[in-house]
Amino acid sequence: MINKLKSEIIKSHKNKRINVFFLFLLFAFIILIFTKLSKTYTNTLGFSVVKQDVPQEFIILNDSVQLNITLKTHGFKWLKYAFSEPKITIDFSKDVYKKEGVFVWYKSAAYLNNTQFGKEVEILNIEPDTLTFKYGINQVKKVPVVVKAQLNFSPGYNSPNPVVVEPDSLVVVGPNVLVSKINEIETEAQVFNEVRSDINKIVKLKLPKNSSDLKFSVNTVTLKAGVEKFTEGNLSVPITIINKPKNLELKYFPKSVNVRYNVSLSNYDKITTKDFKVVCDYSKLNNNQTVLIPELVQQPNLVKNAKINRQRVEFIIVK
């Protein structure tokens, strides 16, 4: 028992010595890394160009442009480029000028130091020192958004106004041969079942296939619809005879018809007889026809499913 305890103590002591050794080794490695990163190094890197604020009416044709820049800086800065792609941003609203069908970029090392790198970096060389960007003319076109949505309401519910989208249009930018074919953009088809509350949903636009050469101001819109409790209304609306010869006198019955409709509870008291118009068109009368057909030709936007309860009007010609 005593020998076993002695063995465990010796083993534990050895493990502590090993742990201390590895801890010192780790500290030495960290110090070495910091020493290396604190030193200054010179190297050449390929920087990809990020084009910013290109005017909408232009499309840049030579898209893959690279700058080879020789830098002198400490290791910590070089460590940054080891984990992220080196990039230079070119602002087309202020960094370039237009000349003979191309945009030209020419900037000094001092300018790049002040805008892209900072005081800790010294630029030794830029290759090439001038970049040219060929461009084509884009067409800019505003097109409406067409809603593709089916609303299936719960019994007694409906929407007093049409479904709307925000924004209701978008801007398409691209080559004229492609943009000229686009006159509208549809939303992706949506189906809402048992609707009884307001709808407010972000939906995707059905953008043209193979549209890599096109740019769209938005790719989603917000679909909105107000939903309310609806009830049935019923009004007696007078009949008007139209297109009757001036020298002809008619007597007809009935003089009015009932119009049934659905309307939201909040708008029920706003609907009056004057909002509807029912006519019988005498010019549509056939030679052997003895009745007139009433038509609902006017109704307010606030009502849904308005119908006339009578399909014909009897008449006699008074000589």
| Residue 11 domain-assigned (yes or no) | no
Q: What is the CATH number of the domain that holds 115?
A: 2.170.120.30
- Specify the residue for token string 């460590």: 79
| Residue 61 domain-assigned (yes or no) | yes
d(Cα 18, Cα 121) in Å, to the nearest integer? 42
The token pair at 119 is 């005081």
Judge if 50 and 126 occupy the same domain: yes
Judge if 191 and 237 occupy the same domain: no
DSSP structure string for the chain: -HHHHHHHHHHHHHHHHHHHHHHHHHHHHHHHHHHHHHSEEEEEEEEEEEEES--TTEEES----EEEEEEEEEHHHHHHHHHS--EEEEETTTSEEEETTEEEEE--HHHHIIIII-TT-EEEEEESSEEEEEEEEPEEEEEEEEP-EEEEEPTTEE-SS--EEESSEEEEEE-HHHHTT---EEBPPEEEEEE-S-EEEEEEB-PPSS-TT-EES-SEEEEEE--EEEEEEEEEEEEEEES--TT-EEEEE-SEEEEEEEEEGGGGGG--GGG-EEEEEGGG--TT--EE-EEEEE--TTEEEEEES---EEEEEE-
| Residue 26 domain-assigned (yes or no) | no
Judge if 144 and 129 occupy the same domain: no
Q: What is the CATH number of the domain that holds 147?
A: 2.170.120.40
> What range does the domain containing 219 cover?
139-226
| Residue 18 domain-assigned (yes or no) | no
pLDDT in the model for residue 281: 94
pLDDT in the model for residue 215: 87
| Residue 175 domain-assigned (yes or no) | yes
Domain boundary among 177, 201, 226: 226
| Residue 17 domain-assigned (yes or no) | no
Judge if 262 and 221 occupy the same domain: no
Judge if 241 and 311 occupy the same domain: yes
Judge if 255 and 307 occupy the same domain: yes
Judge if 263 and 176 occupy the same domain: no
| Residue 2 domain-assigned (yes or no) | no
pLDDT in the model for residue 35: 55
Q: What is the pTM of this model?
A: 0.55
Domain boundary among 186, 207, 226: 226
pLDDT in the model for residue 75: 61
pLDDT in the model for residue 155: 92
Judge if 146 and 219 occupy the same domain: yes
Mean pLDDT by 10 residues, the chain (319 residues): 54 57 60 58 79 82 75 69 77 84 78 70 78 83 94 92 92 86 94 94 90 87 94 95 88 93 94 96 85 94 91 84
Judge if 174 and 220 occupy the same domain: yes
pLDDT in the model for residue 22: 62
Judge if 210 and 280 occupy the same domain: no
| Residue 103 domain-assigned (yes or no) | yes
pLDDT in the model for residue 265: 93
List 226's β-bridge partners, or say none: none
pLDDT in the model for residue 34: 54
Judge if 58 and 113 occupy the same domain: yes
* Count: domains in the chain: 3
pLDDT in the model for residue 303: 93
pLDDT in the model for residue 275: 96
pLDDT in the model for residue 67: 79
d(Cα 225, Cα 160) in Å, to the nearest integer? 9
Domain boundary among 137, 156, 190: 137
Judge if 95 and 148 occupy the same domain: no
